[in-house]
Structure 1
């Protein structure tokens, strides 16, 4: 467990700013205490300072996990967000997409969101902007990247991809075999 380097912090904050903009500060300075990001075994954890101090008493070799895993660095040193960060990103998301009930299952199976499955989209969403995907009953399902801007969505064909899938809450079940 160690603090992130400047390069790692920049990559993490760039990725988070795609989804929550300048609300990153709200993740760190919370009413229930200070939180920070720590690096352990290619993964970035979001943890309170109180729990971080407790985890520091465990050797790195024996420490499996602590806090909430926000994502990991790939072998090419790119940062990839995990679905475990969804509960922290959803309340602060700047851009949101709601999918129709018929398309929820398709998205939860790892497919992209098509125009035919789009319920509504936040106004002024730009192309390639990070979005949080919600069901029509405001349940966060996952996140992705907008393939089209809001203006382009209005004139798009029903089979056009509007949101590229990145992560969803169905990943736990799909990846269960890989964990064992």
Structure 2
């Protein structure tokens, strides 16, 4: 486990800002227990500082620690994993609620169509990161809007509203590569 470099911090925070905006400060400056981001084998983990200090004694044999937020590709880009959904849902600026008929298609990896749209946060811009929730406020995944809120109102029912990025179905589909 090592701290992130300045370039890695910039890349990580730019990606997180697409989904939670300025709420990134709530992840770092927590009142209960300070947390930090650490890199281990190209994966970024969000972990409390107290646990991180204790884990340094077993570092060579450590498989993972904390919550995996995503991983860096070989080209230096950052890809969020579904494992960080709990934190994205908690601090998200923009949210999309899906009707019960649209939950399963989304969890199988499909985009969200207008016919499946239950609600959307007002004034959501185009190409903005959003958290996908069921109508009962259960986080299902996250994606990127294809159209703004105003444009989505004028679309036909088969038009794509949100491009799929990650969903809770990945826990089963990609269980080998998540950790």
1:10-159 correspondence runs (5 A): 10-60=10-60, 62-159=61-158
- Give me the whole-angstrom Cα distance separating, in 2, the residues matched to 1:108 and 1:68: 21
Deviation per CA, 1:104-135: give whole Å up to 9, x if none. Answer: 00000011001110001000100010000000
- Give me the whole-angstrom Cα distance separating, in 1, the residues matched to 2:140 and 2:9: 26
1:162 equivalent in structure 2: 161
Structure 1 residue 178: deviation in Å?
6.3
Structure 1 residue 58: deviation in Å?
1.6
Structure 1 residue 177: deviation in Å?
6.5
Where does the alignment leave 5 or more consecutive residues of structure 1 unmatched?
none
Structure 1 residue 31: deviation in Å?
2.2
Structure 1 residue 29: deviation in Å?
1.3
Alpha-carbon RMSD across the aligned residues, in angstroms, is 1.2
1:8 equivalent in structure 2: 8
The TM-score with structure 2 as length reference comes to: 0.96
Tell me the matched-pair count.
Answer: 178
